[in-house]
Amino acid sequence: MRKIGLYSLLGLFTIISIFPFYWMFIGATNESGKMFTNPPTLKPGDQFMTNLQNLNASIDLGRVFFNSVFVSGVYVIVALMVCSTAAYALAKFEFKGRNAIFTTLLLSMMIPYQATLIPLFQLMSNFNLLDTYFALIVPQLCFPFAIFLLRQNFLAFPTELIEAARLDGAGEMRIFLTIVLPSMKPAMAAAAIFLFMTQWNNFMWPLVATTSNEMATLPVALSSLIGLSIIDYGQVMMGVTIATIPIIVFFLALQRHFISGMLGSAVK
């Protein structure tokens, strides 16, 4: 009896969690009006290509998709370098100001993003960097949560191994790259997924930092579609699908690392 209750509860929440995704797919493959019929249309339609073409006519899909992939991809690689070296220093070296730096990084997570938005915009504007990949990528490269997550994992790395390598005469950079990092793959994967998701889904900063349609990222272009006076819902649903599928595939492929990485950082 009790088990039936448990499974019904979990089943119900599974449906609530998944149904909007299914509905998104229904919308992307049907005509605009099919989303508002009674009884509802629950079967995929044959308008996939039409919706895709219409979407492409509205937002230069190829360019916008490239922008999102390029910005997120470059961001993850550079942010991982910046954050992992910082996390390593904070975890494994004694130096003046270490605690102050770490505390400041943690405290900065409490500052609402909006408090930095306007000066960031002015800074980019003054250097004529608005509407560039630089503006989209660079400001958030130092991501305190990623540093925190990586530091937690680096702390667990045996210091004796580092010291042994030093006695063997290995340089510090070599120790970091060839001894520490290879054993930190799960932590780096978790941080990479987190950084990728954050950047792929980012909206407010790209919205203010880009002014031309050529530099828009997927969320910005999507948002512009619902600002039109007549909304083609099939096209919009196709856009939502294209913004959502890559991140879901990415997540499903790496979810083991991601959830364990998140778990690690939450409890330690």
State which of positions 206-265 bind another protein (CB under 8 A): 208, 218-219, 222-223, 225-226, 233, 236-237, 239-240, 243-244, 247-248, 251-252, 255, 259, 262-264
Distance CA 68, CA 185 (A): 25
Distances (CA, A) of 187 to 16, 180, 199: 31, 11, 18
Would you say 110 or 182 has its CB closer to another protein? Answer: 110
User: Residue 185 CB, nearest distance to another protein (Å)?
Assistant: 20
User: Residue 49 CB, nearest distance to another protein (Å)?
Assistant: 21
Would you say 147 or 191 has its CB closer to another protein? Answer: 147
Q: In a 10 Å sphere around its CB, with 0-12 CB exposed, 13-18 middle and 19+ buried, how is residue 227 labelled?
A: exposed
Q: Which of 1, 43, 62, 114 binds another protein (CB under 8 A)?
A: 114
Distance CA 60, CA 148 (A): 38
Q: Which of 65, 75, 157, 200 binds another protein (CB under 8 A)?
A: 200
Residues within window 41-80 making contact with another protein, judged by CB under 8 A: none
Q: Which of 69, 129, 197, 213 binds another protein (CB under 8 A)?
A: 197
Distance CA 138, CA 199 (A): 11
Would you say 62 or 119 has its CB closer to another protein? Answer: 119
Identify the CA nearest to 188 among candidates 171, 176, 200: 176
Q: Does 125 help bind another protein (rule: CB under 8 A)?
A: no
**Three-state secondary structure string covering 128-165:** CCCCCHHHHHHHHCCCHHHHHHHHHHHHCCCHHHHHHH
Q: Does 177 help bind another protein (rule: CB under 8 A)?
A: no
Q: Does 106 help bind another protein (rule: CB under 8 A)?
A: no
Q: Does 191 help bind another protein (rule: CB under 8 A)?
A: no
Please give the size of the binding site for another protein, defined by CB under 8 A.
Answer: 91
Do 241 and 28 touch, CB atoms closer than 8 A? Answer: yes
Q: Which of 66, 93, 127, 134 binds another protein (CB under 8 A)?
A: 93
Q: Does 161 help bind another protein (rule: CB under 8 A)?
A: no
Do 88 and 181 touch, CB atoms closer than 8 A? Answer: no
Do 257 and 186 touch, CB atoms closer than 8 A? Answer: yes
Which region, judged by CB under 8 A, interacts with another protein, from 38-46, 54-62, 69-77, 184-192?
Answer: 38-46
User: Residue 166 CB, nearest distance to another protein (Å)?
Assistant: 7
ω into 39 cis (within 30 of 0): yes
Distance CA 64, CA 217 (A): 5
Q: Does 82 help bind another protein (rule: CB under 8 A)?
A: yes
Question: What residues contact residue 90 under an 8 Å CB cut-off, 6+ apart?
Answer: 98, 101, 102, 147, 151, 154
Q: Which of 77, 134, 203, 214 binds another protein (CB under 8 A)?
A: 203
